[in-house]
């Protein structure tokens, strides 16, 4: 193999999607290295990328559409049959109960969001109204708080921050921003900078930290309030900033003036001195960036925690400057509408950013309410595994009249479906993430986008999602030969003619706007070359981006008037395998994206909860004396993207982490077995002893407990599936976020 054999693509195992180069050996991804030319990751990749072949060549990859037989087993059917029957059955559900009874769960995982762009056409063609995905069990509370305070999402700049704070986040393992490990090392090594971690566990990140507030699980609301209380009581607030840039500060400041700091520190299990040190370090920093993640989102007071976390940087003026929190560009406007007043059809649960809380999905199905969901389309997510209470989620799926799963592998959700449609893998088609990959300098910040080209032919029998949805929309009857004929003709004349004709056709036939992405796939797609059609929806996305952010795009070096600007962006994206800088903004731009250029400090809905903390004393049920964090990110977890347990050869089952003091009280050794009992169920696990865990706190990894064939093809479940142990009602009262990191449990030694 020569040097030319290296092909540029990206890792899809977590949301940062590092640029990588791979060498193939036949159909195997044989070697992997970071792509130094990549605009955002600059050659960085973690050890997980070395194991991508376990994804690409999983033994349970799907190679044919499957249809469930009356006896429950599956039979292979042709694509023609599958598409026709799936369309007919969805149309039947729609005609009987209305399109709103068809629920969509999906849109992509850590690296494949084009499927969601195409899925949107099928949803609209069916008149489906409600949808959700994994973000509705982690980030919706945060989105809502961001939109209340700022009218936009803000993100940190860890590379340039003087002080970086991680709250319930372990970036050493979970990343979440580009080049996380070298950046953490740089901060830790610099005496003028500081790393602050708030986490009950002495994580790899906490080991490097200058300050580690080792809170008791579930007490962050007290800890964060105490830090904010110190800000107000020691007068560490940035008053000039508050006067110039904010409104409605009276209520939260009044509440914080009253915070009994020492008392709250006691409830959180941290010393008052350490909390005061942290508050002072944050307040005197020239720039602070803060990352909140699952440790506080999937635990008690989830949405309130997000509010308090954002007040930490807001009241110290860490917005709209280098090293602090800034509002970037978004390719999809994905999280717009966070504040809509929509509610779920049965339970009236708050819909944030268009997503129904994942924890209430079974309640929206397992009822005789006339508006209950009757059918579900699941795409690139595995809710039978990843949503709380797997038993109940399976029961809900079985109660539906019709379930279709689009996936690359035979997942726990696919097992519950009536039809399973096999997608080509993320290395067999054009794909991309919309999470964005930012970087920044002293004077400006930027966003990038990376479109991946296929490095392998699709496995026979599979199709890219664009083609699957194009066929479905055709079969549903929402796009006809008549609709597409003028566009095919125009596309042959070039992009400009095509754009004009598209406008004309859609204004004449407005229903086509609903299925825009498959219309692009079918009519613009072929002009991109055979096998490249799946990139077509990016054209529309590039044009929308150019309309929303023309100045940012020009600063990134793009030129042209009107539609030319969007085309220039699309061409660059299509051509470039190492990512494209799509926007550059001076820091002041953040204020133009913040509503009325002013932050609003009061969230009326959350003030009563903030005040009521006073009356709350953390306690535990003697029947369940442990707190189980069900789903910890480790060096060998990647959600359920890799299903083969052998990808973590050292720990194929995924052990329970436990403090040695707890183990000796129970009489178990490292490598021994325990039974974990929750109010829902119980499961057996291997234990690993580690004093990185606090006594009373145990943790299981995420992504374990999947069914997978052994060498003889016999299927086994490896490790504990965390959501067999969780319940749907343990969730945030406001956003519905599950308390996966805070599951009351009892542990017993297994003889």
Residues that bind ligand MGD (CB under 6 A): 14, 109-110, 112, 115, 134, 137-138, 167-170, 173-175, 198-201, 203, 215, 217-218, 220, 293-296, 299, 379-383, 386, 406-409, 411, 423, 425-426, 465, 629-634, 637-641, 702-703, 722-723, 726, 740-741
- Choose the one of Mo ion, ligand MGD, ligand SF4, none that binds residue 412, judging by a C-beta under 5 to 8 angstroms depending on kind: none
Tokens at 36, concatenated = 């130094």
Q: How many residues bind Mo ion (CB under 5 A)?
A: 1
Complex with ligand SF4: residue 17 or 552, whichever CB lies closer:
17
Angle, helices 516-523 vs 481-491, to 10°: value is 50
* CB of 638 vs ligand SF4, minimal distance in Å: 6
Strands (E) across 462-602 are located at 580-586, 599-600
Complex with ligand MGD: residue 64 or 382, whichever CB lies closer:
382
Distance CA 603, CA 150 (A): 11
* CB of 359 vs ligand SF4, minimal distance in Å: 27
- Choose the one of ligand MGD, Mo ion, ligand SF4, none that binds residue 17, judging by a C-beta under 5 to 8 angstroms depending on kind: ligand SF4
Q: Count CB atoms within 10 A of the CB of residue 709.
A: 15
The footprint of ligand SF4 on residues 606-665 (CB under 6 A) is: none
Q: Rounded to the nearest 5°, which phi and psi values hold at 526?
A: -60, -25
* CB of 35 vs Mo ion, minimal distance in Å: 24
H or E stretch covering 407: strand 402-407
Strands (E) across 441-600 are located at 444-449, 451-452, 580-586, 599-600
* CA torsion angle 546 552 554 560 (round to 10): 20
- Choose the one of Mo ion, ligand SF4, ligand MGD, none that binds residue 703, judging by a C-beta under 5 to 8 angstroms depending on kind: ligand MGD
- Residue of 195, 192, 283 whose CA lies nearest to 241: 283
Tokens at 675, concatenated = 């039974």
* CB of 651 vs Mo ion, minimal distance in Å: 21
What binding mask, one character per residue, do residues 161-200 give for ligand SF4 by CB under 6 A, x or -? Answer: --------------x-------------------------
* CB of 37 vs ligand SF4, minimal distance in Å: 16
The footprint of ligand SF4 on residues 15-34 (CB under 6 A) is: 16-18
Distance CA 461, CA 428 (A): 12
Complex with ligand SF4: residue 409 or 638, whichever CB lies closer:
638
- Residue of 728, 609, 617 whose CA lies nearest to 678: 728
- Which region, judged by CB under 6 A, interacts with ligand SF4, from 9-17, 238-246, 259-267, 334-342? 9-17
Complex with ligand MGD: residue 165 or 546, whichever CB lies closer:
165
* CB of 313 vs Mo ion, minimal distance in Å: 22
* CB of 578 vs ligand SF4, minimal distance in Å: 14
What binding mask, one character per residue, do residues 104-143 give for Mo ion by CB under 5 A, x or -? Answer: ----------------------------------x-----
Q: Does 324 bind ligand SF4 (CB under 6 A)?
A: no
* CB of 630 vs Mo ion, minimal distance in Å: 14
Complex with ligand SF4: residue 111 or 322, whichever CB lies closer:
111
Specify the residue for token string 């664009």.
Answer: 466
- Choose the one of ligand MGD, Mo ion, ligand SF4, none that binds residue 11, judging by a C-beta under 5 to 8 angstroms depending on kind: ligand SF4
Distance CA 190, CA 186 (A): 6
Complex with Mo ion: residue 138 or 199, whichever CB lies closer:
138
- Residue of 144, 129, 135, 130 whose CA lies nearest to 113: 135
* CB of 200 vs ligand MGD, minimal distance in Å: 5
In three-state form (DSSP H/G/I as H, E/B as E, the rest C), the secondary structure along 215-277 is CCCCCHHHHHHHHHHHHHHCCCCCHHHHHHHEECCHHHHHHHHCCCHHHHHHHHCCCHHHHHH
Q: How many CA atoms lie within 13 A of 149 on its CB side?
A: 26
Contact 363, 369 (CB under 8 A): no
The residue within the footprint of ligand SF4, chosen from 7, 9, 11, 593 (CB under 6 A), is: 11
Complex with ligand SF4: residue 100 or 208, whichever CB lies closer:
208
- Which region, judged by CB under 6 A, interacts with ligand SF4, from 42-50, 97-105, 267-275, 702-710? 42-50
Angle, helices 465-476 vs 516-523, to 10°: value is 110
- Choose the one of ligand SF4, ligand MGD, Mo ion, none that binds residue 659, judging by a C-beta under 5 to 8 angstroms depending on kind: none
* CB of 295 vs ligand MGD, minimal distance in Å: 2
Distance CA 594, CA 326 (A): 10
Tokens at 294, concatenated = 């699952």
Q: How many residues bind ligand SF4 (CB under 6 A)?
A: 11
**Residue 196: which residues within 8 A CB-CB, separation 6 or more?**
163, 164, 165, 166, 209, 210, 211, 212, 213, 278, 281, 282
Angle, helices 495-508 vs 516-523, to 10°: value is 140
* CB of 176 vs Mo ion, minimal distance in Å: 10
- Residue of 616, 11, 546 whose CA lies nearest to 268: 616
Tokens at 70, concatenated = 């009356």
The residue within the footprint of ligand SF4, chosen from 8, 9, 14, 66 (CB under 6 A), is: 14
- Choose the one of Mo ion, ligand MGD, ligand SF4, none that binds residue 593, judging by a C-beta under 5 to 8 angstroms depending on kind: none
Complex with ligand SF4: residue 182 or 477, whichever CB lies closer:
182
- Choose the one of ligand SF4, Mo ion, ligand MGD, none that binds residue 115, judging by a C-beta under 5 to 8 angstroms depending on kind: ligand MGD
Q: Does 48 bind ligand SF4 (CB under 6 A)?
A: yes
Complex with ligand SF4: residue 10 or 538, whichever CB lies closer:
10
The footprint of Mo ion on residues 136-175 (CB under 5 A) is: 138
What is the DSSP-derived secondary structure letter of residue 596? G
Distance CA 156, CA 465 (A): 33
Q: Does 147 bind ligand SF4 (CB under 6 A)?
A: no
Count of residues in the chain: 751
The CA radius of gyration of the chain, in Å to the nearest whole number, is 25
Question: In a 3-state reduction of DSSP, which class is residue 537?
Answer: helix
Specify the residue for token string 């930290």.
Answer: 209
- Choose the one of ligand MGD, ligand SF4, Mo ion, none that binds residue 334, judging by a C-beta under 5 to 8 angstroms depending on kind: none
Residue 136 sits at the vertex; the CA angle it makes with 135 and 137, to the nearest 5 degrees, is 90
Distance CA 543, CA 8 (A): 25
- Choose the one of ligand SF4, ligand MGD, Mo ion, none that binds residue 295, judging by a C-beta under 5 to 8 angstroms depending on kind: ligand MGD
Distance CA 275, CA 215 (A): 11
* CA torsion angle 453 377 717 713 (round to 10): -70
* CB of 230 vs ligand MGD, minimal distance in Å: 18
Q: Does 46 bind ligand SF4 (CB under 6 A)?
A: yes
**Residue 625: which residues within 8 A CB-CB, separation 6 or more?**
696, 746
- Which region, judged by CB under 6 A, interacts with ligand SF4, from 14-22, 80-88, 227-235, 427-435? 14-22
* CB of 584 vs ligand MGD, minimal distance in Å: 27
Complex with ligand MGD: residue 193 or 634, whichever CB lies closer:
634
The residue within the footprint of ligand SF4, chosen from 49, 213, 308, 743 (CB under 6 A), is: 49
Complex with ligand SF4: residue 310 or 633, whichever CB lies closer:
633
Distance CA 692, CA 271 (A): 18
Complex with ligand SF4: residue 211 or 435, whichever CB lies closer:
435
Distance CA 68, CA 403 (A): 10
Complex with Mo ion: residue 332 or 527, whichever CB lies closer:
332
Binding site for Mo ion (CB under 5 A): 138
Binding site for ligand SF4 (CB under 6 A): 11, 13-14, 16-18, 45-46, 48-49, 175
């Amino acid at each position: 193999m020569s040097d030319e054999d290296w092909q540029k693509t990206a890792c899809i195992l977590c949301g940062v999607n590092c640029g990588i180069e791979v060498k193939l050996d036949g159909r195997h991804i044989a070697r992997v290295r970071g792509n130094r030319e990549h605009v955002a990751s600059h050659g960085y990749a973690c050890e997980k990328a070395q194991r991508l072949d376990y994804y690409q060549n999983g033994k349970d990859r799907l190679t044919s559409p499957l249809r469930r037989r009356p006896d429950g087993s599956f039979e292979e059917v042709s694509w023609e049959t599958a598409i026709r029957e799936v369309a007919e059955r969805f149309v039947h559900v729609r005609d009987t109960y209305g399109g709103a009874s068809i629920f969509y769960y999906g849109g992509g995982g850590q690296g494949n969001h084009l499927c969601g762009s195409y899925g949107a056409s099928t949803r609209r063609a069916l008149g489906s109204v409600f949808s959700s995905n994994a973000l509705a069990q982690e980030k919706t509370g945060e989105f809502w708080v961001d939109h209340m305070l700022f009218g936009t999402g803000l993100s940190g700049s860890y590379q340039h921050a003087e002080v970086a704070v991680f709250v319930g986040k372990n970036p050493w393992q979970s990343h979440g921003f580009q080049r996380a490990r070298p950046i953490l090392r740089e901060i830790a090594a610099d005496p003028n900078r500081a790393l602050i971690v708030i986490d009950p566990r002495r994580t790899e990140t906490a080991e490097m930290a200058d300050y580690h507030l080792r809170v008791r699980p579930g007490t962050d609301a007290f800890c964060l309030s105490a830090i904010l209380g110190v800000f107000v009581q020691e007068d560490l607030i940035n008053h000039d900033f508050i006067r110039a840039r904010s409104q409605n500060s009276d209520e939260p400041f009044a509440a914080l003036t009253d915070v009994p700091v020492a008392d709250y520190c006691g409830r959180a299990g941290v010393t008052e001195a350490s909390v005061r040190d942290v508050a002072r370090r944050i307040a005197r920093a020239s720039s602070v960036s803060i990352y909140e993640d699952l440790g506080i989102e999937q635990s008690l007071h989830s949405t309130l925690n997000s509010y308090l976390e954002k007040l930490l940087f807001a009241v110290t003026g860490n917005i709209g400057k280098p090293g602090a929190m800034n509002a970037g560009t978004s390719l999809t406007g994905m999280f717009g509408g966070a504040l809509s007043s929509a509610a779920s059809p049965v339970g009236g649960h708050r819909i944030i950013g268009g997503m129904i809380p994942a924890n209430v999905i079974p309640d929206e199905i397992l009822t005789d309410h006339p508006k209950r969901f009757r059918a579900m389309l699941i795409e690139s997510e595995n809710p039978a595994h990843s949503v709380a209470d797997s038993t109940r989620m399976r029961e809900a799926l079985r109660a539906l009249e019709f379930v279709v799963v689009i996936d690359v592998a035979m997942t726990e959700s696919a097992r519950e479906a009536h039809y399973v449609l096999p997608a080509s893998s993320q290395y067999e088609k054009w794909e991309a993430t919309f999470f964005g990959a930012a970087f920044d300098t002293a004077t400006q910040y930027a966003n990038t986008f990376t479109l991946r080209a296929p490095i392998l032919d699709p496995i026979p029998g599979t199709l890219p999602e664009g083609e699957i949805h194009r066929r479905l929309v055709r079969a549903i009857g929402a796009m006809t030969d008549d609709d597409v004929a003028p566009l095919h003709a125009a596309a042959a004349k070039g992009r400009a003619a095509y754009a004009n004709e598209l406008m004309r056709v859609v204004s004449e036939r407005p229903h086509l706007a609903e299925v825009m992405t498959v219309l692009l796939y079918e009519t613009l797609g072929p002009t991109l070359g055979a096998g490249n059609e799946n990139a077509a929806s990016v054209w529309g996305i590039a044009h929308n981006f150019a309309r929303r952010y023309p100045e940012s795009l020009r600063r990134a070096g793009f030129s042209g008037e009107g539609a030319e600007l969007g085309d220039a962006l699309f061409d660059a994206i299509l051509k470039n395998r190492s990512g494209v800088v799509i926007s550059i903004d001076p820091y002041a731009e953040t204020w133009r994206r913040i509503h009325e250029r002013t932050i609003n400090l009061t969230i009326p809905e959350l003030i009563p909860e903030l005040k009521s903390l006073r009356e709350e004393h953390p306690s535990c049920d003697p029947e369940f004396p442990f707190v189980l964090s069900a789903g910890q990110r480790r060096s060998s977890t990647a959600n359920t993207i890799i299903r083969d347990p052998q990808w973590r050869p050292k720990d194929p089952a995924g052990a329970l982490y436990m403090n040695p003091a707890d183990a000796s009280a129970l009489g178990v050794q490292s490598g021994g077995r325990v039974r974990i009992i929750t109010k829902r169920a119980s499961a057996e696990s291997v234990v690993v002893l580690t004093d990185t865990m606090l006594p009373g706190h145990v943790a299981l990894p995420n992504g374990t407990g999947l069914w997978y064939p052994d060498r003889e093809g016999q299927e086994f479940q490896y490790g504990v599936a965390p959501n067999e142990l969780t319940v749907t009602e343990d969730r945030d009262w406001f956003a519905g976020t599950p308390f996966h990191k805070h599951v009351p449990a009892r542990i017993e030694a297994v003889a």
